[in-house]
Amino acid sequence: MTGSEGGTRTSGSGDIVRTLELLWDTGRRPSRGPKPGLTLERIVEAAVRVADAEGLEAVSMRRVATELGTGTMSLYRYVPGKAELLDLMLDRVQRPSDDPADLGDGGWRSALEALGRATLALYRRHPWLLQVNQSRPILGPSALDGMEKMLSRIKSMGLTDPELVSAIVAVDGYVVGAARTQLYEAEVERRTGLTDTEFWAAQAPVLEKFMASGRYPMLAGLSEDAFGRDFDHFEFGLQRILDGLEVLVARRAGAGDGTEDRARAEDGARAKDGAEDGPRAEDRAGNKDGGQGRSRGGGAD
Q: Encode pLDDT of 216-234 as tens digits.
A: 999 999 999 999 889 999 9
Beta strands in the chain (DSSP E): 9-10, 132-133
Determine the pLDDT at residue 1: 38
Nearest to 47 by CA among 96, 82, 94: 82
CA distance linking residue 301 with residue 299, whole number of Å: 6
Give backbone dihedrals phi and psi of 299, rounded to 5 degrees, phi first: -75, 145
pLDDT at 155 over 80: yes
pLDDT at 186 over 70: yes
- Per 3-state DSSP, the chain is made up of helix, strand and coil in percentages (nearest 5) of 65, 0, 35
CA distance linking residue 186 with residue 282, whole number of Å: 27
Determine the pLDDT at residue 274: 66
Q: To 5 degrees, how large is the angle CA 265–CA 274–CA 245?
A: 60
Say what the pTM is: 0.82
Determine the pLDDT at residue 288: 41
Buried b (16+ CB within 10 A) or exposed e, 228-258: eeeeeebeeebeebbeebeebbeebeeeeee
Contacts of 190 (CB under 8 A, 6+ apart): 2
Determine the pLDDT at residue 257: 46
Q: What is the mean pLDDT of residues 201-210?
A: 96
Q: What is the mean pLDDT of residues 119-145?
A: 96
Task: Provide, rounded to the nearest whole percent, the portion of the chain with pLDDT above 90.
Answer: 72
**Three-class secondary structure of residue 265 per DSSP:** helix
Q: What is the mean pLDDT of residues 164-179?
A: 97
Contacts of 18 (CB under 8 A, 6+ apart): 27, 80, 84
pLDDT at 290 over 70: no
Determine the pLDDT at residue 277: 64
Determine the pLDDT at residue 188: 93
pLDDT at 271 over 80: no
